Amino acid sequence: MSTISPMHTVTVRDRARNIEHTFQVPEDRYILHTAENNGKELPFSCRNGACTTCAVRVLSGEIYQPEAIGLSPELRQKGYALLCVSYARSDLVVETQDEDEVYELQFGRFFAKGKVRAGLPLDED
């Protein structure tokens, strides 16, 4: 006897293309995979939660993303998620993010120390 997973309505606002997608997602399926199965074109790259191409900001609802290794705990707490490894836990409204913006939020502090010269630490001249 199989059980039917609860369904949630997910709305993705694609900022880059000024398009809004709305579709139903079973609670036990990745949001990106379900979107693709419904003919929705969303940004993605690695499909395994390691990059930030499919990053979104959760505007409303609850999302579960235990495999999102590409996002720091701090960004997750600020409402960012990776659709390729995220599950809807309620109806959701999310907005796509610019990959470079998310990358900068996450890693910018590590690269904001100036030029790196071969053989020298960052803080030496």
For residue 112, the model assigns a pLDDT of 52
49: closest CA among 27, 65, 29? 65
Q: What are the residue ranges spanned by the domains of the chain?
A: 7-111
Identify the CATH assignment for 7-111 out of 2.30.30.280, 3.40.50.1820, 3.30.365.10, 3.10.20.30: 3.10.20.30
Which runs of E-coded beta strand occur in the chain? 7-14, 19-26, 55-60, 63-64, 80-82, 87-88, 92-96
Give residue-wise pLDDT tens across range 3-33.
788 999 999 999 989 999 999 999 999 999 9
Instruction: For residue range 67-113, list pLDDT tens digits in order.
Output: 999 899 999 999 999 999 999 999 999 999 987 888 788 777 655 55
pLDDT given at position 65: 95
Per-residue pLDDT of 29-68, as tens digits, reads 999 999 999 999 998 998 898 888 999 999 999 999 999 9
Q: What are phi and psi of 71, to 5 degrees?
A: -120, 135
| CA pseudo-torsion sign 63, 82, 39, 96 | positive
Per-residue tokens: 62:
């609850």
Label residue 125 by pLDDT band (50, 70, 90): very low
